[in-house]
A and B are shown apart, each in its own frame.
Chain A
């Protein structure tokens, strides 16, 4: 199936292809009428540039329009590169949280999932997570990528996966309609199920979102149980503020290895926390470059901000199985210069949602 001269797209885990060479190969694959996806082949004539001749470097991905919004209504099969033949190895169709507008959908093929898992596995090793222990997941399930990622991560490391159903859209709906108490009730319902598993099973790894981690920590007895029994906590799904992270490490779960993931549907995966960060270091996330790359930009100009400055995250996913370059995420991050041994876009730190400023309208009163 894959043509021999595009082997750079399939280098084994651990290999670090030259990013620019990698991008050129990917363009040849995705914009070849024989192998590209119907979606991109249809868009190509209207792009205003020729991906084959004009996209020569990683930076040139910024030529692409941001088509993430199209993932809301595109026929999902049109996203699969035709080069995979009539029976492409599908890992699943996954959807975004659907915070703004309808959910966005992507399709993940097995070869990409395998690459991501191999890389994530190494990241967990580097963070001191053990193998052969069982996992408990308190992460979005159903159509959400992170649930499947959790199951496969556990299986790959020889663990059983205990899961709790979690529908994040319902929670968001409750909060948006002012039913905060109901959202709290739902969270308690999730925690109660998790507690049962934690008390009856030997859980070595916990995969959890920061808001639910906060609820687990609020039960002191439970927090002690987790600190004693669980070897590692992989958190992700939403951001964690730096003060909470420091407190978890120093006070709440001092005996547990913590590893953050920064993921999004548009990335088709996650970026992993750099291992070995110090107490005062920001939480730096490194993507699986050059397959997934970040830039941190000024949202107005779309130009990169300086290293150390805050900006909006732009994600590009470029693999043999999928192409989604240049999507502007909702998140703010600090732009971090990557280690010279790991070329390919920026690293990002201290992810936070775009600040929503309190309404400037005058509220009557004196306080």
Chain B
């Protein structure tokens, strides 16, 4: 299928996985590792292909609800241990690591997380269901033998559409743990992979297919940037990963769920000693290589910000610079040219900030054309400083003093806020604040993940609605 025999010298081509099968496109782009070596080629399908594939998906019937759990469990097993994409899991992980520059240990942990989440996907998808509704999985059975529920009238948890498109992210394979929930809810799903990590969705969809998911239920449609809109137009609902620009472009579209900037933050009030929680703070900044939207980009401290900066800088400076495939690697790696561009951007942004680990120490070249992005720590005087909103794909944190006068304003627009505080009145106000998506009070890292804790709301809130249904026994 996709993989040529080892040693054949032919490039590994990631095909499109269309509704009618796998397709190696004539037009392909190289997928290069951080040192610029081409490791694979990614098919680029034209709008005609996308359009026809989506149309075929629309005609397909979802897998019966009662068969889904077993199918997902088989797929999870294949993803974690099989060769659904023609690669062993080690080879898959190596390529994700070399191309995305993500530490191999992080990729391995992510493989396990994807498999674990996939096994439990039906359960996690169901957690979004309002208590006042009948479960969609039950609806079919309920319709076959209308019992007291529907005969008296009930809200049924029903899909808002049939076809869900995902413009996937390439920063971290863990982002692919979310969209399978749409499959669990009976959606047909079309994924446009990022050229920075086409391997994970290819492996995942291949695993789902090998586990028995019909081709038309989940597709991989790699397209050129300029054709990405075709996918959104053809689907009922979509999820799009991106920065500020993407958020602006689709902000007004109720059919598009934006996974925008995270701007996750930490607040330490005077009644807590940050020294006891340095692990949590440093971990929030730099764990998972600091590449996620759940990594903290700003720390607000009621007290001595300089002392916190000093301690944080010392802690982060100790992280080693290693190639991503090294077992001990913990920092992200990029092509040296992009790393330098990131550092130059940081330097401009940090003009008015006090560097504890400044832009000049960010780029650490590995000698093969790639460079480690080393942590940056900057201190600003004003909790309203716009630099605090700067989110970059490596451990890069801004520290500012916080006062009661500054209030909630600097803490708004956060995917995650970890508040190290004993002030229950403040905690209540933070809980009420609508622009803070997730709130952890206490020594929890911003990247805390646990069953039942949705990443940014439950996907089901976006994909489903409560439909009033009453069926008479005519």
Contacts and interface: CB of A to CB of B under 8 A. Distances in A.
A73 interface: no
Interface residues of A, number: 23
Contacts of A340: none
Contacts of B51: 214, 217-218
B128 interface: no
A246 interface: yes
Contacts of A218: 51
Interface in A318-367: 358, 360-367
A242 B393 contact: no
A351 to B, nearest CB: 13
Contacts of B260: 365
B243 A365 contact: yes
A246 B49 CA distance: 11
Interface stretch (B6-14, B40-48, B185-193, B418-426): B40-48
A362 B46 contact: no
Interface residues of B, number: 38
Contacts of A220: 55
B244 interface: yes
Interface of B is mostly: loop
A364 B292 contact: no
A252 B52 CA distance: 10
Contacts of A44: none
Given A220-B55, A362-B342, A366-B292, A244 B48 contact: yes
A245 to B, nearest CB: 9
Contacts, number: 77
B87 to A, nearest CB: 24
Interface in A224-258: 241-244, 246-248, 251-252
A85 interface: no
Contacts of B171: 366-367
B391 A365 contact: yes
A365 B244 contact: yes
A180 interface: yes
Q: Which of B47, B225, B341 has the most CB of A within 10 A?
A: B47
Interface in B371-425: 390-393
Contacts of B344: 362
A367 B259 CA distance: 9
Interface in B125-174: 169-171
Contacts of A367: 169-171, 194, 241-243, 259, 293
B27 interface: yes
B26 A246 contact: yes
Contacts of A217: 48, 51-52
A243 B45 contact: yes
A364 B390 contact: yes
A243 B18 CA distance: 13
Nearest to B175: A367
A311 B388 CA distance: 46
Interface in B322-342: 341-342
A244 B23 CA distance: 12
A254 to B, nearest CB: 14
B25 interface: yes
Contacts of B52: 217, 247, 251-252
B66 interface: no
Contacts of B390: 364
Nearest to B291: A366
Given A244-B46, A365-B393, 8 more contacts: A243-B46, A243-B49, A361-B341, A362-B341, A362-B342, A364-B345, A366-B295, A367-B241
Interface of B: 25-27, 45-49, 51-52, 55, 169-171, 194, 225, 229, 241-245, 259-262, 291-293, 295, 341-342, 344-345, 390-393
Interface of A: 180, 214, 217-218, 220, 241-244, 246-248, 251-252, 358, 360-367
7 contacts: A214-B51, A217-B52, A241-B46, A243-B26, A243-B27, A244-B46, A362-B344
